[in-house]
Amino acid sequence: MIRYLLLLVTSVALFSPSFAQDLKSQIDEQAQALEEQVVAWRRDIHQYPELSNREFRTAEKVAEHLKSLDIEITTKVAHTGVVGVLKGGQPGPVVALRADMDALPVTERVDIPYASKEIGEYNGEEVGVMHACGHDTHVAILMGAVQVLSDMRADLKGTVKFIFQPAEEGAPNGEEGGAELMVREGVLTSPNVDVIFGLHINSKTEVNTIGYRPEGTMAGVDRLEIKIKGAQTHGAYPWAGVDPIVTASQIVLGLQTIVSRNLEIIKAPAVVTIGKIDGGVRSNIIPEEVSMIGTIRSLDPEMQDKIHRRIREIATNIGESAGAEVEVIINKGYPVTYNDPKLTAQMVGTLQEVAGEDNVFLRYPVTGAEDFSFFAQEVPGFFFFLGGMPAGMNPEEAAPHHTPDFFIDDSGLTLGVRALSRLTVDYMDQYEPEMGK
């Protein structure tokens, strides 16, 4: 009887708050011990970046790491993706953690020992390749979290699914890829994911800080194409034709009234940008056709629909008034990256514990886009931003993402490892079966 009581007391102690606190301390200690390794992973991946759907070396590095930790893996998901499954020692929810792996067609200009010298091919052109958006840090951080969580697998109250995703920046022309393809291939099933967490490094936010926002946190993005057909004529006799260049110019100006005059901008931000106009071959010929391409950003589905409608109305009516034919093509891209409000409220306390309450802040929505949105459409998601700017630097002097001078301070990566690991353990600890229904 005494032996039975001792076993019972021991069992209760294992699942007491002090035991949970021990796990948290273990995460902090292991993440700190892994700091040099995580930085080394990041710098290696940074030095050898790979474009979307071509992340072969990165995927192999990830797969080898997961195999070394005896984690069940699946490779070649959505072309080059790697998915690992870690089954905890106790029943519970399935928590997914995601990192994107691809780089950009940008030539690096930063003077660091591990700068990229890689050359690749992007849509038929030879380009420099650089991790100019910090996906190298995401991969290294998640590799660190994999190791931390695998070392405590016997104590985990559930299962962790590690998603290393290709092609967040968009698949090459003629190919599919990214989160949307991973979802179609069943990455959120077998086992079925209950929630998903992800992070993004930010070059203009100081290291060891975390920003977040409930509901719409990053914009939905659509691709816009407008084709204008006029009537070609000599540049000296414009009245003899229909000028698609003048028509295009009026359309560009007209589109700018959508955000400034048609949208309730205090509700949510939006952007309509024309990024390229193509038409004509020489100075004295008015061409027959002009084409334009651009991007639409919105954080509200109703506003998104209104933007689409107004673009068609403005472009076609201006074209008609000029005697030109106008075709508007809108291809929907990434949805709004939406943070589940209940999940966000539930987990913000974890981020505050990990980073310190003063270092966690509510941020403005971002008109950039993220295909994490496809995961968050299927299951509750929480996507937050990790500081990567050197401490004390003026954000106005920090290079933005997608530029040759983009730079991330490695000293903030350990906070990322701790945050993803703690979110996992804390969610499992708070989970009740009805939460997943």
State the catalytic residue, choosing from 102, 180, 222, 371. 102
User: Does 168 qualify as catalytic in the annotation?
Assistant: yes
User: Does 405 qualify as catalytic in the annotation?
Assistant: no
In whole angstroms, give the CA distance from residue 208 to residue 355.
Answer: 7
State the catalytic residue, choosing from 50, 100, 118, 168. 168
Angstrom distances, CA of residue 24 to CA of 5, 119, 148 = 28, 43, 11
Query: Which residues pair with residue 159 across a beta bridge?
Result: 87, 94
In whole angstroms, give the CA distance from residue 356 to residue 350.
Answer: 10
Report, as residue numbers or ranges, the catalytic residues: 102, 168
